[in-house]
């Protein structure tokens, strides 16, 4: 490379995929989008950049340190770090123009200047759905969310996954019964770690929060209630805790479970897990995590929950909601790393036409017929040898190749070759269209 | 609004659409993407952020002033301002891993801190396709591009548009014949303005470039060669200019025209326009602009051309290419402003189910059947009055509503209402699926 060239390179933590991987990624993107739309969610596409004052209204600590923030002229600008804050801003701004419940999905890039490490990205896709109510939002919405998760992961080709469900009111009411309300946030933070650090370490940390060992044991017994969904609900009921939040929470769980079944989600794909609290402060009711059972080390691949107030930093209007997020870039990376998904085609073409004749008229007509039948078609204009054109077709892994030589043109036929099986047949274009559809 | 709320607002020049408009926008996005894929182009998704040194290798002047550029830690970062520079970087970086010709499309946001004005955005979508060759690229590719433009704008619902084609070699060879080679760039800049400032002003400006009036007249006569495509080619041939570039250019134009016809693009949708030069310096052969004939004031809605060397700032490898770009955000804005496109639905749902019964089982089953048939379905869980639910359905303009009451449930039927015509019928769910497909 000569001295005066600039070395082409990409920022650390930023990804650009090769065509075959991008096609695989887009396939997942499309399936998630289609699943969200199947439930009638409307698309939203907020700007990448926002006023820092608006975007950071709530942020603090770690999040704020990771923000890409800069001045352009006199304007203090930040890049979005999630899709929830922009949603809150959007709903607060446009509340008069929106119909509630407002059901929106947004799939887009967000930016966090995290320390770079394997599988952690600074620019990554989130795929969010939220349903926002005006003052109230039916509990049935909490049951719809797992149905959407089920649809989404089923359409992505998974069957062995579990949507774990809990309710923050159950947790809070339970803590209240132990007179731990003031420490509830701390306790939640500690029990959230049980999968990572284990029972003993959790107990130790709980005791450090200044509670008696017997209380810590009660907490552990509680979050270790296991079993089939109805057994867990029965066990919770049998605790006979008469705190309002607890009773409400258990009733909500019951209703939500009934709804999830009504939506047709099999019992094998969801269960109550009392250890789930979700770290974020703003969840107030149902919470969700989703585990691919064969790959538990991936952690939750789809999480979220119910919150009382989406946009309290911008408006006095009460906007309760429930939503989930899929971290697509991370999920894609993990699935590829684990060999669960594998790229094949490096082209969107279903067919590549290899014209052998000097005159391309017949080849171009053939391409036109195929495209009119919605078959994606590339024509190879290279006028190179058959071998060289076949090499190219093989490299981009186009599924079918159509060879057009003098004989084919004379007989008004084409020769089509299945590039996977090697099978080859000469027939007319209408048969080819039928075969490829 | 209480004192401590932060006013939700969006940066000037940045757009977020209401659901109905976003759906309309996405519809255009999807059609453009599908058109690009119909020709077998592979998707690419480069990062929004790049090293400033890499992104600004070529930039200068106006462009550089508009860049969103900042430091994060020690890193000098810029936001992409087009999709061509990231493509050049990508191809230079990954040349060993790509198969050539590399046919890629990219649809994504780019950022320019322009002075804000109506219809000019600081964050906007570009929809690009480029075909990049390794050392060489067949001329047939230049003919394929108008076929893709034709497919794209036809799929967007347009019929009365013209793809204007020219060839820079024809222009350059012509200037050479007038011994104006050194001034060619200046002359091109001047004649590019003919639509805006008119013939006389162009002549004046040409004379200011220090040429005799008779030479300026020759230039004007040349660029005013009009007529049917074949007449223009004949007129060019009849000029008997023996400069190499001119002869090559005319031959290329001839070949490209033949190819365009081979692709099935009607003569009514393209023509040679010798006034088109495209401002950018790097076009070297065929150039394109696309005009919606009923809305000429919109200017070109799709432009591009052939260039000799995509990535000369990063690599010594010669990478000739040809490509086009659609400025989707601007096009969308202009089409809406002109009333050519109009939003309808504010939901992706085809159907909304209004359950009248307390128990939702039957309603949820109905929703499941519809979704399994790929019919996007929302269930209204509000338990409000029929009137209130109908109001909501009307506001988001869902095309069909399904009402499920006791009678319907008893008879295993549903009542479906066409929200446009008001027609209502009670039938079984299989008929509904058939009707909606």
ipTM of the complex: 0.95
Residues A319-363: pLDDT tens digits?
A: 999 999 999 999 999 999 999 999 999 999 999 999 999 999 999
Averaged pLDDT for residues A254-261? 97
- Shortest Cα distance from A221 to chain B (angstroms)? 35
* pLDDT higher than 70, residue A262: yes
The three-point CA angle A326-A329-A335 to 5° equals 90
Q: Which residues of B touch A8 (CB under 8 A)?
A: 54, 88-90, 92-93, 311, 314-315
pLDDT in tens, B324-355: 999 999 999 999 999 999 999 999 999 999 99
* DSSP conformation class of A422: -
Give the pLDDT mean for A248-255.
97
Model confidence at B128: pLDDT above 50: yes
User: What's chain A's Rg over C-alpha atoms?
Assistant: 27
> Which pLDDT does position B1 carry in this prediction?
44
Q: How confident is the model at residue A279 (pLDDT cuts 50, 70, 90)?
A: low
Sign of the Cα torsion A146, A149, A155, A157 reads negative
Q: How many CB pairs under 8 A join A and B?
A: 262
Chain A residue nearest residue B46, CA to CA: A16
Beta pairing partners, A204: none
Domains of chain B by residue range: 11-158+294-344, 161-269, 351-436
Percent of chain A at pLDDT exceeding 70: 98
Q: What is the pLDDT of residue B279?
A: 62
Which residues, including other chains, have CB under 8 Å from residue A176's CB and lie 6 or more apart? A184, A243, A245, A246
CA within 13 Å, CB half, B425: 9
Strand pairing of A351-355 and A400-404? parallel
SS (H, E, C) chain B: CCCCCCCCCCCCCCCCCCHHHHHHHHHHHHHHHHHHHHCCCEECCCCCEEEHHHHCCCCCHHHHHHCCEEEECCEEEEECCCCHHHHHHHHHHHHHHCCCCEEEEEEEEEECCCCCECCECCEEEEEEEEEECCCCCCCHHHHHHHHHHHHHHHHCCCCCEEEEEEEHHHHHHHHHHCCCHHHHHHHHHHHCCHHHHCHHHHHHHHHHCCCCHHHHHHHHHHHCCCCCHHHHHHHHHHCCCCCHHHHHHHHHHHHHHHHHHHCCCCHHHEEECCCCCCCCCCEEEEEEEEEECCCHHHCCCCEEEEECCCCCCCCCCCCCEEEEEEEHHHHHHHHHHCCCCCCCCCCCCCEEEEECCCCCHHHHHHHHHHHHCCCCEEECCCCCCHHHHHHHHHHCCCCEEEEECHHHHHHCCEEEEECCCCCEEEECHHHHHHHHC
Question: What is the average per-residue pLDDT within B201-221?
Answer: 93
**Edge to edge, what strands does the sheet with B400-404 contain?**
B377-379, B351-355, B400-404, B414-418, B424-427
More confident residue, B181 or A60: B181
Q: Which residue of A has its CA nearest to B104?
A: A19
For an interface test with A, the pick among B4, B33, B42 (most A C-beta atoms closer than 10 Å) comes out as B42
Q: How many other C-beta atoms lie within 10 A of the C-beta of residue B159? A: 10
CATH of B11-158+294-344, one of 3.40.350.10, 3.40.50.300, 3.30.930.10, 3.40.50.620: 3.30.930.10
Tokens 């810590």, located at residue: A216
- Does the pLDDT at position B3 exceed 60? no
Contact A7 B314 (CB under 8 A): yes
Summarize pLDDT for A144-181 with one digit per residue, the tens.
999 999 999 999 999 999 999 999 999 989 999 999 98
Does residue B2 carry a pLDDT above 60? no
Considering only CB atoms, A23 lies closest to which of B18, B42, B377, namely B42
Instruction: Kindly state the tokens that stand for A241.
Output: 């805790």
Task: Name the band, by pLDDT with cuts 50, 70 and 90, for residue A280.
Answer: low
Chain A residue closest in CA terms to B360: A262
Range name among A190-204, A294-308, A326-340 with the lowest pLDDT average = A190-204
Q: Can you tell me which residue has the tokens 């019928």?
A: B425
Contacts of B332 (CB under 8 A, 6+ apart): B24, B25, B28, B341
Q: Do domains B11-158+294-344 and B351-436 have the same CATH topology?
A: no
Give the H/E segment covering residue A46: none
* Mean pLDDT value of segment B359-377: 96
Over residues B56-99, the pLDDT tens digits come to 988 666 778 899 999 999 999 999 999 999 999 999 999 999 99
Contacts 24+ apart (CB under 8 A), A59-68: A59/A85, A63/A112, A65/A113, A66/A112, A66/A113, A66/A114, A67/A111, A67/A112, A67/A113, A68/A111, A68/A113, A68/B49, A68/B70, A68/B72, A68/B77
Candidates A251, A202, A204; CA nearest to A223 is A202
Contacts of A183 (CB under 8 A, 6+ apart): A175, A209, A210, A211
Farthest CA pair distance, chain A: 92
Q: Which residues, 6+ apart, have CB-to-CB distance to B3 below 8 Å? A: none
Beta bridge partners of B75: B72
Compute the distance between CA of residue B364 and CA of residue B125 in angstroms, rounded to an integer: 39
CA distance A268 to B226: 72
Residue B46, pLDDT > 50, answer yes
Cα A307 to Cα A325: distance, rounded to the nearest angstrom? 14
Determine the pLDDT at residue A277: 80
- pTM, two decimals, is 0.96
Q: Kindly indicate the confidence band of residue B376, based on its pLDDT and cuts at 50, 70 and 90.
A: very high
- Strands across the sheet containing A400-404: A377-379, A351-355, A400-404, A414-418, A424-427
Average pLDDT, chain A: 94
Structure tokens at A298: 């991936």
Averaged pLDDT score across all residues of chain B: 94
- Range name among B55-59, B142-146, B241-245 with the lowest pLDDT average: B55-59
CATH tag, A351-436: 3.40.50.800
Write the pLDDT tens digit of every residue in A406-437. Answer: 999 999 999 999 999 999 999 999 999 999 98
Beta-carbon-side half-sphere exposure of residue A176 (alpha carbons within 13 Å):
14
- Restricting to B residues 248-267, those with a Cβ less than 8 Å away from any Cβ of A are 259, 262-264
**In this model, does residue A53 exceed pLDDT 60?**
yes
Q: Do A381 and B140 touch (CB under 8 A)?
A: yes
**Chain-chain contact of B25 with A16 (C-beta, under 8 angstroms):** no
What mean pLDDT comes out for the span A15-30? 98
- Rounded CA-CA distance A257/A164 in Å is 11
pLDDT at A1: 45
CATH superfamily of A8-132+309-344: Bira Bifunctional Protein; Domain 2 (3.30.930.10)
- Show the tokens assigned to A171: 């947790």
């Amino acid at each position: 490379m000569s001295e005066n060239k600039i070395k082409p390179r990409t920022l650390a933590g930023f990804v650009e995929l090769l065509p075959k991987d991008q096609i695989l990624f887009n396939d997942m993107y499309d399936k998630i989008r289609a699943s969200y739309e199947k439930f009638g969610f409307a698309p939203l596409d907020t700007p990448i950049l926002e006023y820092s004052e608006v975007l950071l209204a709530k942020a603090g600590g770690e999040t704020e340190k990771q923000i890409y923030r800069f001045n352009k002229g006199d304007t203090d600008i930040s890049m979005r770090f999630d899709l929830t804050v922009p949603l809150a801003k959007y709903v607060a701004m446009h509340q008069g123009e929106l119909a509630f419940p407002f059901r929106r999905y947004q799939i887009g890039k967000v930016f966090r200047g995290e320390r770079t490490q394997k599988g952690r990205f600074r620019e990554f896709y989130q795929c969010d759905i939220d349903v926002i109510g005006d003052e109230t939002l039916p509990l049935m919405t909490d049951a719809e969310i797992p149905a959407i998760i089920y649809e989404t992961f089923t359409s992505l080709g998974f069957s062995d996954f579990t949507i774990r469900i809990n309710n923050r009111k159950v947790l809070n009411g339970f803590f209240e019964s132990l007179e731990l309300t003031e420490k509830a946030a701390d306790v939640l933070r500690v029990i959230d770690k049980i999968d990572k650090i284990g029972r003993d370490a959790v107990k130790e940390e709980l005791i450090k929060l200044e509670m008696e060992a017997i209380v810590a044991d009660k907490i552990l017994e509680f979050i270790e209630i296991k079993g089939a969904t109805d057994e867990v609900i029965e066990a919770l009921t049998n605790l006979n805790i008469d705190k309002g939040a607890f009773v409400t929470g258990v009733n909500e769980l019951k209703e939500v479970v009934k709804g999830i079944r009504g939506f047709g989600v099999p019992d094998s794909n969801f269960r109550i897990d009392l250890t789930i609290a979700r770290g974020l402060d703003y969840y107030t009711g149902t919470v969700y995590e989703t585990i691919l059972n064969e790959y538990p080390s991936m952690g939750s691949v789809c999480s979220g929950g119910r919150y009382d107030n989406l946009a309290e930093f911008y408006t006095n209007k009460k906007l309760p909601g429930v939503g989930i997020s899929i971290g697509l870039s991370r999920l894609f990376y993990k699935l590829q790393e684990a060999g669960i998904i594998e790229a094949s085609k490096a082209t969107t073409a279903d067919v590549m036409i290899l014209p052998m004749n000097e005159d391309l008229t017949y080849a171009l007509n053939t391409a036109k017929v195929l495209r009119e039948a919605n078959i994606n078609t590339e024509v190879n204009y290279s006028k190179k040898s058959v071998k060289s054109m076949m090499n190219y077709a093989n490299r981009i892994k186009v599924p079918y190749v159509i060879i057009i030589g003098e004989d084919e043109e004379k007989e008004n036929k084409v020769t089509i070759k299945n590039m996977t099986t090697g099978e080859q047949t000469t027939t007319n274009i209408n048969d080819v269209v039928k075969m490829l559809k």
